[in-house]
Chain A
Amino acid sequence: MNRMILLLAGALAALPALAAPEPLASVVVAELQRKAAAGEPAKPLATPVDADVRFERTATVLPDGTVMYGCRDAGRRDFRISGGRDGAQVQR
């Protein structure tokens, strides 16, 4: 066991030293701090529009036995905005 630990220690020592993160010059955003304190979503949220539009590929066998491929929609053209900018309903 001791030998294993020594080997492991040796292996760790052989690793290149990880660079320490460089601090970036920054601006603390009071708006984020305020939202965090108020429990509000931090981000200006995006709002995708869920789509349930579907196209159907169909096959019909013609009298001569060949197959005719067709395409139509599935009768669903349902799009919903699933959330608002202020975040209360946005699904993540």
Chain B
Amino acid sequence: MSALPRLLAALLLAAGSLPALAQVLLTPGQSRQFQLPANALSTELAIDVPAGTRQLHLELQTVGNADVDLLLRFGEPFPLNGNAGVFGGLDWLIEHAHYRSISPTGSERITVSRAQHEPVRAGRWHLAVINYAGQPADFSVLATLSQEDPGPAPFTVVFDDQAGCSARGANTFAWFEATAATPVGGNPGTTVGEQRRNAFTRAMEQLRTELPGTAPVRILACWRDLGGTANSATLASAGPTAVYRDDGLNSFSGGPAERALFQLPSLPSLYTWYAGPAIAQRAGTATCRAASGNCNAPDVFIQFNSAVDGSSALGNRRFHYGYDVPAPGGNLDFIATAMHEINHGLGFFGLANTRAEQGPIGEKFRATFNGVPEPDGHNDAYTDELVVVQGNTVAPFNELPLDLRAAALTSGFNLRWADPATVEAPGNVLRPQPFPLNLPPVYAPPNLQPGSTLSHLDPNTYFSEQMGPQIVAGARALGLARPMLQAIGWNSEPLPAPQYARPFGGQWFDPARGNHGLDLIRVSGTADTYILTLYTFDANGLPEWYLAIGRIVDGVFRPGNDANGNSLWRTRYLFGTPPSQEPDTSVPGQIRIDFNQAARAPACNDGTPRTGPLALMTFTLGSDFNLRWCLQAIVPQASRPATDLTGHWAAASQQDGGWGLTTLSYGGNAGSGLFTILYFPDSQGRPRWAAAQTDTFQPGQPQPLFQLQGYCRTCPQPPGGAVPTQIGQLRIAPAANGSGTVEFNATFNGAGSTGSFSRPSIPLTRLGVSSPGG
């Protein structure tokens, strides 16, 4: 495969054909005007953040209505070069952002505090600006720094959106009722409508003061006749308008529409549901900017029962709009009611199913796409904090099988909140107890109470918590709900800079897709550039292989596109003197391997046993769109022998490209096992592979070379796996110093291929090494 040296050379020389852009440093507090051509991007802007900074705030505002987006990244600049000296693609560029403001408008904002996933810290922060418009865009950029941590989260309430309320079956009339009223309990309003608005604003302000945050939360507040009887009524209902999760870039464009979500690189947990207001805090911008939505849409919807202030519900009792407590005369505490419901809208709820008619109890939440439920349930941030306690046994709720999750939901006191800050909070009356009895129980009564079960604190332990399911007096303080919310997206404590995985090189495979595999080897002399060879089978089960070259950035192998728009590609071997290769664009390909939190990915929870660090590979090849394979190392690093011959080898002669080998050392019987794959062309120049394996490797020993009759990438794995047939012989003598020799002959069998491909004993050179870089 000495195509690789040439490809690498092209990669390394690519800067010459697509030069890195110069750097324009922004001055804090000083707005500057810039212009971008139509359909263009720039990575030129940056700002140097000094030590001691606690918030970095960026604002981009276009002149006119061009859609211009803002990306932000700490440390190294955004890349431009994909493969072969061309721009690597928009998805690829965006994937390098630590923060994104990508609304459909030209008004973008990002705030980074010390409490976010990539915390603000001293160093250079790089901006990328993308103009999606078909005409040049003028815009201003303002960067400001603050030595203060964020204050109260900027909630806003919308009282007058009649259309928004109406779309949800509600209205705004009660907010503006002109009936005269006497100021009550510190509420100075002189009309009923004004008092209602004042009381709601008061509730919101009280929550804000307990919840620091950087990003706006927009609350749509309405009224509706929800009915009631003389003794019972619904006072209000509320919830978030959207939930989000970060699946990484889990699909490549071009395939059929599917359940693709999007990346939210600022979320702490992948593959996990969060409420909209919480993701805004993590993203440092409004949900509409973090996830390209409508900035006039609400994040939280709340409606109050207008029947309560009439005579049809709860007799003569009315909402009490005073700021004082308790509500006099048996009236209903409006402010406490509003606070409790808004808390649910901010994310205080679990999504495990508690309603029998909606599926198995305890089932993880599945969204529907085009009316079809997703195949996989996902954890949510709330239930991720729960454990199930039985005696001294403590098990994470989301790691239990369905039947045990269901049992936990009706277990009384076994379902508990494990976040340490909540356990240590002064409001936790169980704090003096020994572990695990000190963990706060959430509501899990013997009889399921949908909506009450799971999403509240246990009322028998906590009598007056705002987030209890039943309470006699309305509570006006967040209490334990404050640390609980902080654990599920509302964190305000400083975080350390994240550490990303960088794997050892070697061969990886998905045990659910045995016989297919890949080797991923760091290119010698580079810190984090890797060569990937995917060895797989075509639709007829015949071996074929593909290549990718790219960096592992933030724990993700994500090669950029080449000139043909592919990040995973194959070459056609051209027999001649000397032989050469050309791109084979008949099978378009894209690939991405995420080494972060792969164990949480649905593909890694399909019931197939896997061990060791996992990685999620998402790839597209031809009509096989967006396959997701959960990889593990074939031979873990700890199982490699002292003399590790693992590597990627090619002919030393630059004139002899188009074929190559990968080797993988393993313990074997005598600590000297070696697995070898030979990559070579068939007589039509198509990329094929064959394998050899010995437990007692001796350099230069003859080994039989086998072709495998396998199964296609979307076919079920056959019992017994692929069928081997000997097609030649191999003698390889790799040396730990990166030199070696090889001799082989291989006669590919199938697809009209005739003749053999062979080499006499020739020198080898190692292109890639197995250590993780540095």
Contacts and interface: CB of A to CB of B under 8 A. Distances in A.
Contacts of A23: 34-35
Given A56-B234, A57-B237, A26 B349 contact: no
B90 A29 contact: yes
A28 B33 contact: no
A92 interface: yes
Contact of A26 (B40, B276, B341): B40
Interface stretch (B254-262, B434-442, B634-642, B687-695): B254-262
Interface in B243-267: 243-245, 251, 253, 257-262
A24 B292 contact: no
B257 A71 contact: no
B234 A36 contact: no
B341 A57 contact: yes
B34 A22 contact: yes
Given A57-B340, A70-B452, A79 B365 contact: yes
A66 B464 CA distance: 15
Nearest to B230: A61
A81 B259 contact: yes
Interface residues of B, number: 100
Interface in A1-44: 18-33, 36, 42-44
Contacts of A53: 239-240, 243, 349, 351
Nearest to A42: B132
Contacts of B18: 27
A83 B36 CA distance: 30
A30 B8 CA distance: 24
Nearest to A85: B260
B163 to A, nearest CB: 15
A50 B36 contact: no
B337 interface: yes
Given A19-B33, A58-B234, A84-B257, A28 B39 contact: yes
B261 A68 contact: no
Given A67-B330, A85-B253, A27 B236 contact: no
Nearest to A92: B104
B39 A55 contact: no
A59 B33 contact: no
A58 B235 contact: yes
Contacts of B358: 77
B539 interface: no
Contacts of B94: 44
B87 A27 contact: yes
Given A32-B39, A61-B314, A75-B355, A84 B239 contact: no
A23 B24 CA distance: 11
A24 B237 contact: no
Interface stretch (B180-188, B468-476, B483-491, B573-581): B468-476
Contacts, number: 240
Interface string B291-332: 111100000010000001000001101000000000000101
Nearest to A50: B242
A84 to B, nearest CB: 3
B131 to A, nearest CB: 8
A25 B42 contact: yes
Contacts of B452: 70-73
Contacts of B292: 43, 45-46
A46 B41 contact: no
A81 B39 CA distance: 29
B22 interface: yes
A55 B466 CA distance: 14
B455 interface: yes
Nearest to A20: B33
A49 B234 CA distance: 27
A19 B31 CA distance: 10
Contacts of A42: 39, 67, 132
B244 A73 contact: no
Given A27-B42, A29-B39, A69-B471, A57 B234 contact: yes
B120 interface: no
Which of A29, A49, A72, A86 has the most C-beta atoms of chain B within 10 angstroms of its own C-beta? A49
A65 to B, nearest CB: 6
Nearest to A61: B231
Given A48-B293, A70-B470, A92-B104, A58 B232 contact: yes
B218 interface: no
A91 to B, nearest CB: 8
B129 interface: yes
B248 to A, nearest CB: 13
B469 A80 contact: no
Interface in B198-253: 230-245, 251, 253
Contact of B367 (A49, A55, A60, A91): A49
B694 to A, nearest CB: 46
Contact of A29 (B41, B251, B261, B450): B41
Contacts of A32: 39-40, 90, 132
Contact of A28 (B37, B91, B287, B472): B37
B420 interface: no
Contacts of A55: 237-239, 341, 344, 349, 451, 455
Given A33-B39, A79-B367, A92-B294, A52 B239 contact: yes
A88 B30 CA distance: 40
Nearest to B338: A57
A36 B344 CA distance: 42
Nearest to B455: A55
Contacts of B349: 53, 55
Contacts of B230: 61
18 contacts: A19-B33, A21-B35, A22-B24, A22-B32, A26-B41, A36-B134, A42-B132, A46-B102, A49-B244, A53-B240, A53-B351, A54-B239, A55-B344, A56-B235, A56-B236, A61-B231, A66-B472, A71-B340
9 closest Cβ pairs, A-B complex: A73-B451, A84-B257, A85-B260, A32-B39, A21-B35, A24-B42, A46-B291, A72-B451, A46-B262
Interface of B: 18, 21-22, 24, 32-42, 44-45, 67, 69, 80, 87, 89-91, 94, 102, 104, 129-130, 132, 134, 138-139, 230-245, 251, 253, 257-262, 275-276, 287, 291-294, 301, 308, 314-315, 317, 330, 332-333, 336-337, 340-341, 344, 349, 351, 353-355, 358, 365, 367-370, 374, 449-452, 455-456, 469-472, 474
